Amino acid sequence: MRSLAAIFLIAFGVIFCIPYAPASAQIAGTESISIIVTPQYPRPYETVTITPRSSLLTLSASQVTITANGAVIEEGSGERSTQVTLGGPGSSTLIRVTARQGASVESAELTLRPADVSLVLEPQTTGFPLYDGGLLVAPESRVRLVALTDFRTSNGVRIPSNSLSYTWRVGNKILTEESGLGRSVLTASAPVRYRNADVSVTVSTTDQSMTGYAFMEVSSSEPRLYAYRVDPLLGIDLAHTLSGVVPLIGEEDSFTAVPYYFRDTPSLSWSLNGELAGSDSAFTVRAQNESAVRANVGVRAEGNDFESASSAFTLSFRGSPRGFGF
């Protein structure tokens, strides 16, 4: 498993489901006329900008005509650009640029076939087994990036993902070992704390007739620890985290702590009024016949490489003065 942080540092030196495409690129043309398309990798139904360029002709002194599938979308003299909205998946748009300067006529054309690529990040970090939310990335934890593609033929048939070629990059560095035919999943180690890694994937058909692109910045987050009440009949009340003043229900109450976004399962330590009270995930407090009516409960999680998080709340007994035990 490769480390995104290590690859990123080698490529750039020490600096740390999202689609993105570069601003523009020259993607087709002839020796006399080239066509610039922005964005470089258009998606279905996206509006792109078409800009002719020429190193031989003076376009400012030429009559320029731009057509899309045979229909004129821009015509006139001088350097100019225009926009065209592409069709849905499987569609194609033929762009043709013609420039007339005196008796000289030059032209260039290209076919735009939109394709869709998105990246999904799957952090391999701690959380509640039935947690519905998205997990965050822990420093140097395992991550999976999955490229989801929507490439279709002219008759609308989806091209299988394992028939496409994937080129993975961190920054500008190509991950040769992780790239190739059908390599739609990248598994690696996340960056170290306070570092980011720019991960991108370029996907194309084997004949290079369709190309898509997606980008994601992978960054690590701080681990968190939350305490919950455990109901004897309903189980853990994950809808409410405990903080501030919490009333003790009955003579006895149970609680649990769930660590989120740790690289591995951390060790736990509970405290009651500042004294160590246990190291299990579950913690039970019982009322006693003493004078106190409140108690401070704390829990702390310690992981690898200085990972830590804590949570605290105050228990309040409703009734005659009592103390607290465990």
Domain ranges (residues) in the chain: 2-20+115-219, 25-112, 224-325
pLDDT confidence band for 132 (50 / 70 / 90): confident
Residues 6+ apart with CB under 8 A from 201: 117, 119, 145, 147, 166, 167, 168, 169, 186, 213, 214
Query: CA-based Rg of the chain, rounded to a whole angstrom?
Result: 30
Q: What is the mean pLDDT of residues 310-318?
A: 87
Superfamily of segment(s) 224-325: Immunoglobulins (2.60.40.10)
Task: Look at the domain 25-112 and name its fold.
Answer: Immunoglobulin-like (2.60.40)
Q: What is the mean pLDDT of residues 186-198?
A: 89
- Given this model, what pLDDT does residue 20 score? 42
Q: How far apart are CA 315 and CA 255, in angstroms?
A: 11
Q: What percent of the chain has pLDDT over 70?
A: 86
Q: What percent of the chain has pLDDT over 90?
A: 55
> In one letter, which amino acid is 313?
F
pLDDT confidence band for 198 (50 / 70 / 90): very high
Q: Is the pLDDT of residue 244 over 90?
A: yes
- Given this model, what pLDDT does residue 125 score? 93
Residues 6+ apart with CB under 8 A from 127: 133, 135, 258, 260, 261
pLDDT confidence band for 290 (50 / 70 / 90): low
pLDDT confidence band for 87 (50 / 70 / 90): very high
- Given this model, what pLDDT does residue 195 score? 86
pLDDT confidence band for 228 (50 / 70 / 90): very high
Q: What is the mean pLDDT of residues 217-227?
A: 93
Whose tokens are 């002709």? That residue is 57
Partners of 252 in the beta sheet? 286
- 16-43 pLDDT per residue, tens: 233 444 444 444 555 678 899 999 999 9
DSSP string for 55-90: SSS-GGGSEEEEEETTEEEEEEESS--EEEE--STT
- 133-158 pLDDT per residue, tens: 789 999 989 999 999 999 999 998 99
- Given this model, what pLDDT does residue 24 score? 44
- Given this model, what pLDDT does residue 124 score? 92
Q: How many other C-beta atoms are found inside a 10 Å radius of the C-beta of residue 304? A: 13
Q: How far apart are CA 214 and CA 312, in angstroms?
A: 41
Whose tokens are 């015509």? That residue is 75
- Could you give phi then psi for residue 81, rounded to 5 degrees? -135, 160
- Given this model, what pLDDT does residue 319 score? 52
Superfamily of segment(s) 2-20+115-219: Immunoglobulins (2.60.40.10)
**Sequence-separated contacts (24+) of 44-47 with Cβ below 8 Å:** 44/86, 44/87, 44/88, 44/89, 44/91, 44/114, 44/115, 44/116, 44/150, 45/85, 45/86, 45/87, 45/88, 45/114, 46/85, 46/86, 46/114, 47/83, 47/84, 47/85, 47/86
- 2-14 pLDDT per residue, tens: 566 544 433 322 2
Q: How far apart are CA 59 and CA 36, in angstroms?
A: 14
- Could you give phi then psi for residue 89, rounded to 5 degrees? -55, 135
Whose tokens are 């689609």? That residue is 19
Chain-wide mean pLDDT for the chain? Answer: 85
Going across the sheet that includes 25-29, the strands are 25-29, 34-38, 47-53, 82-85
- 95-118 pLDDT per residue, tens: 999 988 888 888 899 999 999 999
Asked if the domains at 25-112 and 224-325 fall in one CATH topology, the answer is yes
Q: How far apart are CA 96 and CA 148, in angstroms?
A: 31
- Are the beta carbons of 34 and 108 closer than 8 angstroms? yes
Partners of 271 in the beta sheet? 276, 298
Query: What tokens were used for 131?
Result: 């947690």
Q: What is the mean pLDDT of residues 185-209?
A: 92
Q: How far apart are CA 314 and CA 274, in angstroms?
A: 12
More confident residue, 3 or 208: 208
Q: What is the mean pLDDT of residues 263-273?
A: 93
- Given this model, what pLDDT does residue 147 score? 97
